[in-house]
Chain A
Amino acid sequence: MSTNAAIGVSAAGPGGLPAGVAPDESFDLDAPWRLHPQVSVRPERFGALLYHFGTRRLSFLKSPALLTVVQSLDSQPSARAACAAAGVVASDLPAYARALATLAAGSMITSGGQP
């Protein structure tokens, strides 16, 4: 439990995610994913802060490993490849997929070709 909680993402104010927007449980790990061009990433001791200038929302990455995954999305053919490159073990993949799904629901990351 503690391991997975440390991989999590929190979306936050102003407003968090729009009401009714839930992360897609069926996150496509094999698709190419990109950081949204309007998103800025600031590393922090606990992981990172993400800010989306379009939606004016913050997200918190709760681990440096998740930050590594997010930062490598742009150079990897798929989210799965980005996780592998960051050294994520198979048993942790579902937790990373859920965290990435939350980022996708908040438009922090977008599937390739649809910025």
Chain B
Amino acid sequence: MTAVITSESRRARANTTTGSLVEQFRYGLAAPICLTWELTYACNLACAHCLSSSGRRDPAELSTAECKRVIDELERMQVFYVNIGGGEPTVRPDFWDLVDYATAHHVGVKFSTNGLRIIPEVARRLAGSDYIDVQISLDGATAEVNDAVRGHGSYALARRAMQHLADAGFEGFKISVVMTRHNVSQLDAFKAIADSFGAQLRITRLRPSGRGADVWDELHPTLGQQRELYDWLLAHGDNVLTGDSFFHLAGYGQGLPGLNMCGAGRVVCLIDPVGDVYACPFAIHDAFLAGNVRGPGGFAEVWRSSELFTELRRPQAAGACTSCAAYDACQGGCMAAKFFTGLPLDGPDPECVRGFGEAALASAGVRAAPRPSADHSHRGRRPVPVSIGPRPVDGPVPDRACEQSPLAGFAPSAAR
């Protein structure tokens, strides 16, 4: 019979029996399916778990002309769309110019934002384009949970942007949630928020990448919560996006919707603000640096023939997981999660559902985990504490949160 599949979940199950497409993907594609492009390290927020350690712009960030040359290349390679992020990409003065340039060159744009620039006029413009999708980051269904991680006022900022998008008639924008110990219990509430705006919920895994390495121990879901999350996805997964984030949970048995594979360097990669190309957005470290778009062969050369990507497209060793019955399902989990917790790449994921990761972390004792290669965090501005408490009383508090200015309450002197 044909492998004709009518939904992601059915497809995922079919893949476990035929396997052919996923096997093909492991050898790499002519161009990435999921290309993340972080346009700037500059950000108005200082989220505790920022996977790119963003805050300050890097002086070497790609110029407008260089960005347009990258877009020209993506068009030639038939990269259908890019996931633009940061930092907060909309703080780049040429952001809308680049979005227009990409869509005019048949490269669709999905951009992630904390909502900073999504004013009514912008929302109306976005709603009018088939080639632009918007993803609003929200890490708590309540201000208390969200702001503890993303910073004071960030919940109101995100909600305001969602309201503007909904008012403008933008249907199906995404609400993107990183799952933490404090918000797994809010999954139904997140879904309700998405439904109330006619939006689609997207949930992804907390990685110990960037500043996430500093808070991972306290924030990553417990083993019990991972099961809760898995069961919730089995029940609601058809209308919830995951970016294939939770394939390590396939070790529980049934695969989740999606490809259930690590796409790093095979179907996925990252271009960072200075043009460095990494195997995935969660692996900003020299060990996963494949090249730079400023090189003679541009992005295409890096994608097609860099040493790192060529290596990733070869069969990978299962190492310590070889004898585990769940390996075929979970594939040993996430490369970046292992790397930044100091675990070997050919061993269990730190959040291995069978508990082998926890055991490996414990036996490693005091971890000598690698640090990210670049840190653009605001100097002297500590990441927001992850404990949940009353809102900070130091500094001015706007009388109407974010009404007069999205930067209300932001004290530039503290960022220097």
Contacts and interface: CB of A to CB of B under 8 A. Distances in A.
A9 to B, nearest CB: 6
Contact of B78 (A15, A40, A53): A40
Interface in B1-20: 1-9, 11, 14, 18, 20
Interface in B165-203: 200
Given A42-B78, A53-B130, A62 B241 contact: no
Contacts of A9: 2-5
B387 interface: no
A62 B3 contact: yes
Interface string A33-48: 0000010101111100
Contact of B4 (A1, A56, A102): A102
A108 interface: no
Interface residues of A, number: 40
B13 to A, nearest CB: 12
A79 interface: no
A11 B6 contact: yes
Nearest to A9: B4
Nearest to B240: A15
Nearest to B80: A51
A113 interface: no
Interface residues of B, number: 36
Contacts of B159: none
B208 interface: no
A15 B74 CA distance: 24
A14 B241 contact: yes
Contacts of A10: 3, 5, 11, 14, 21
A56 B132 CA distance: 10
Contacts of A42: 30-31, 78, 80
A8 B259 CA distance: 16
Contacts of B30: 42-45
Contact of B20 (A5, A11, A22, A102): A5
Given A42-B30, A42-B31, A11 B1 contact: no
A73 interface: no
A99 B33 contact: no
Contact of A11 (B2, B5, B200, B239): B5
B81 interface: yes
A45 B239 contact: no
Interface in B226-248: 238-239, 241, 244
B24 interface: yes
Given A12-B8, A13-B8, A45 B24 contact: yes
B243 to A, nearest CB: 8
A88 interface: no
B258 A13 contact: yes
Contacts, number: 106
Contacts of B259: 12
A98 B303 CA distance: 34
B327 interface: no
A105 interface: yes
A62 B20 contact: yes
A99 B259 CA distance: 20
B6 A46 contact: no
Contacts of B244: 13
Interface in A62-107: 62, 95, 98-99, 101-102, 105
B106 A40 contact: yes
A99 B258 contact: no
B29 interface: yes
Contact of A8 (B2, B7, B131): B2
A5 B241 contact: no
B108 A105 contact: no
A10 B259 CA distance: 11
B288 interface: no
A4 B239 contact: no
B10 to A, nearest CB: 8
A11 B258 CA distance: 11
A54 B9 CA distance: 22
Nearest to A18: B7
A19 B31 contact: no
B356 interface: no
B2 A7 contact: yes
A38 B130 contact: yes
B7 A17 contact: yes
Residue of B2, B27, B30, B258 contacting most chain A CB atoms (<10 Å): B2
A46 B24 contact: yes
B147 interface: no
16 contacts: A4-B1, A5-B1, A8-B4, A11-B11, A12-B11, A13-B244, A13-B258, A14-B200, A16-B8, A23-B6, A43-B30, A45-B27, A46-B24, A58-B33, A62-B3, A98-B2
Interface of A: 1, 4-17, 19, 21-23, 38, 40, 42-46, 49, 51, 53-54, 56, 58, 60, 62, 95, 98-99, 101-102, 105
